[in-house]
Structure 1
Amino acid sequence: MMAATFIPPILGQCISEAIVPDVKTTINLFGMHLRKVSGEWDYPVHTHPQYEINYVLEGEQLFIVNDRHYIQQAGALMFLQPGASHASKSGNGKPFTYFCLHFDIDDRMFLSLLSRLDSVLFGANSNVVQQLRPALNKVIEMSSQLAEHSAAKLTERMRLQSAVFELFGQLWEALSAEADLHSAVSYEKVQLAHQIRNKLQGLIYQQFKQDAAALNQHYGIDDIAAELGISVSHCNRVFRQVFEISPRVFLSSEMLHEAKVLLNDPQMSISQISAILGYRDISHFSRQFKRWYGASPSEYRRSNEEKNITAAAMDEKKS
């Protein structure tokens, strides 16, 4: 996860500028494992709150998802939604080998795509599996190597994380085509929503350089819609369809994120942070932050410091 908060150059000093949209996607993996099981393997019905990818390398698995039966041959992939009731066992009474990972992701566009996915089983020759296979095999190989070494080096863990992000990049491409997002209308909506998001992020950067109150009065959602040649209602509707929140809520969440990143730096005073974020005074910033977060900037900073102290004490006990 990358934080993009920065202090911009003084106006007039910058000759040219290219701003890349923030990268804030977080992927959490749970219980990733490679397992070979006997023909008597029989995993009971269960649910979990994460997505699941299950990939058979050798043999055959019988998967039961929401009372429907699927035969998963070698090379096939199962994709399960959170909360799906499922069980599994050998499909032919013989041993089989499978790789499984549970995950959640905080990217709203990715979640919107996953929620529209109807398919559960993707065969070995499907476009989805063919596109995913190289990245998936890389993750399987690297995770197996890490599992064999309990004291894995940081560089090895980081390489695995890099491979996981590569896998999810391929997953996005593969599932987008599967969900028919690239039809003319749907693809245009996704592209338009991205344009709106990029302009909203640009609005935040400009807010670092100008007075927030003046900026809100002279440039906002209405102006973004006008620049894109669409109505404000259409702007709000398309953005909500793709990201499942309104542009205004997105803008507030982005500003809250930037404020929290700055507050996590103990070297910066709240007054300095208020000025960097473009607020006319510290009281205005404090009121807005409390409206977003439910606590004042000083309360947030104090709570964060206490968490860090507690975590450091726990680490010291372990060592």
Structure 2
Amino acid sequence: MTYEREQKEYMLPDMDSTFKVFAAHWRTVEHNWTFPCHTHPMFEVNLVLSGTQEMIVNRKTYVQKTGDLLLLNPGDIHESRVIGGEEMTYYCLHFDVDERAFRELLCRNTICFHTSNSDLAHAIRPALDKLIALTLEEASVRVEARMRALSTLFELFAAVSGHLSQQGSDSTSGSRMSQTASNIAARLERTVNETADGIKERSDTESVASIAKEMGYSMSSVNRMFNHVFGMSPRQYLSTLMLKKAKLLLMEPELTIESISTKLGYKDIAHFSRQFKRWTGESPGKFRDRFYK
């Protein structure tokens, strides 16, 4: 008698996410330093290393002492100044991610100020200290230093998401809003993928509008819910998906730029090239040349 051996298999989930880090910097400023009121479309971590900073976020004032940090969401209106009559040193990191679950955790968070002895500060400070050390290295532009920075950024993201996941879920209405926004995001992702695979044609306006209509919501309701959950509009999210897909296709050398523009639903290569340059500041050809010369 023969017996079939049981086999086990464990797999990581497929991952297709991108992120951007912008203007990460360590800085010492004088006792009378101020930064004017502004907003931006990225998340921000702001950590005071010495001295005292007053930060006004959405009209609420916070006083950051050594080790205190702020975690800001896209669109938060904020301004800052040094108080206490002494110079201040701080570290600031702006980032953006298209990972839906992580964005939702970040945007759901309503607590932006975290003292030095808070759970979040304890969770993310080790990764922040590594990033600060890498920022201060003169060799930070070298490939191995950049790879260490990427590794540390993922440590930071994991620590932030782990902490925010433990905070629990919102109310029932918030959960319904989250589910609706997630369904819209999933349908937009499917639209982009099916367009690239030649299954369907795409129109930016029709994609979002038709999804809203089919789900029984007005465009204003869809925009409000999506912004609340993900910190951006459905159209902005669709643009991030299109850009990511365009970059992936451009890294396939056997595809011509014209065929890529067709795959992405553009009527002609000129339209695609203009849009890609608006997104990235460079043409599709220049982007491809950085990988294949």
TM-score for both structures, normalised by structure 1: 0.57
Asked if residue 55 in structure 1 is aligned to residue 43 in structure 2, the reply is no
Question: Aligned partner of 1:155: which letter?
Answer: E
How far did residue 111 of structure 1 move?
Answer: 7.3
Shift of 1:158: 1.6
> Structure 1 19/197 Cα, relative in aligned 2: closer, same or farther at 3 Å?
farther
TM-score, with structure 2 as normaliser: 0.61
Query: Partner residue of 1:88?
Result: 82
Residues 138 and 87 (structure 1 numbering): CA distance in 2 closer, same or farther, change over 3 Å?
same
Alignment of structure 1 residues 195-210 onto 2, 5 Å = 195-210=183-198
Name which one, 1 or 2, has greater alpha-carbon Rg: 1
Alignment partners' CA distance in 1, 2:70 and 2:240: 34
AA aligned to 2:143 is L
Partner of 2:67: 75
- Contact 1:57 / 1:99 at 8 angstroms: preserved in 2? yes
User: Which amino acid is the alignment partner of residue 45 of structure 2?
Assistant: I
Please list the CA deviations of residues 110-138 of structure 1 after superposition, one character each: whole Å capped at 9, or x if unmatched. 77877787655322343xxx134243223
Task: After TM superposition, give the deviation of residue 61 of structure 1 in Å.
Answer: 1.8
Q: Which amino acid aligns with 1:200?
A: L
**Residue of structure 2 in register with 1:164 after alignment:** 153
8 Å contact from structure 2 (residues 120, 163) kept in 1: yes
Go from structure 1 to structure 2 and tell me whether the alpha carbon gap of 1:264 and 1:117 turns closer, same or farther (over 3 Å shift).
same
Q: Is the 1:252–1:292 contact (alpha carbons within 8 Å) kept by the matching residues of 2?
A: no
Counting matched residue pairs gives 263
Are the equivalent residues in 1 in contact too, given 2:273–2:284 (CA < 8 A)? Answer: no
8 Å CA contact 2:55, 2:61 repeated in 1: yes
Alignment correspondent of 2:8: none
Contact 2:20–2:97 under 8 Å retained in 1: yes
- In the other structure, the counterpart of 1:8 is none
Q: Does the Cα contact within 8 Å between 2:108 and 2:229 map onto a contact in 1?
A: no
Question: Are 2:187 and 1:193 equivalent residues in the alignment?
Answer: no
Show the counterpart of 1:305. Answer: 285
In structure 1, list runs of 5 or more residues that go unmatched: 1-17, 280-284, 313-319
Find the aligned partners of 1:112 and 1:19 in 2 and give their Cα distance.
19
Relative to structure 1, is the Cα distance of residues 231 and 95 closer, same or farther in structure 2, using a 3 angstrom cutoff?
closer
User: What's the counterpart of residue 183 of structure 1?
Assistant: 171
5+ residue gaps, structure 2, are 1-11
Counterpart Cα distance in 2 of 1:175 and 1:289: 43
RMSD: 5.0
Q: Output the CA distance in 1 between the equivalents of 2:177 and 2:161.
A: 16
Report sequence identity in percent.
21
CA distance in 1, matches of 2:209, 2:287: 41
Shift of the 86–308 alpha-carbon distance from structure 1 to 2, 3 Å rule, reads same
Q: Which amino acid aligns with 2:145?
A: E
- Superposed displacement of residue 239, structure 1: 3.7
The 5-angstrom pairing of residues 27-176 of structure 1 reads 27-28=21-22, 30-33=23-26, 41-47=30-36, 52-57=44-49, 61-63=52-54, 65=56, 70-79=62-71, 84-90=78-84, 98-105=89-96, 107=98, 121-126=113-118, 130-145=119-134, 147-150=136-139, 153-172=142-161, 174=163
Counterparts of residues 223-238 of structure 1 (less than 5 Å): 231-233=215-217, 237=222, 238=225
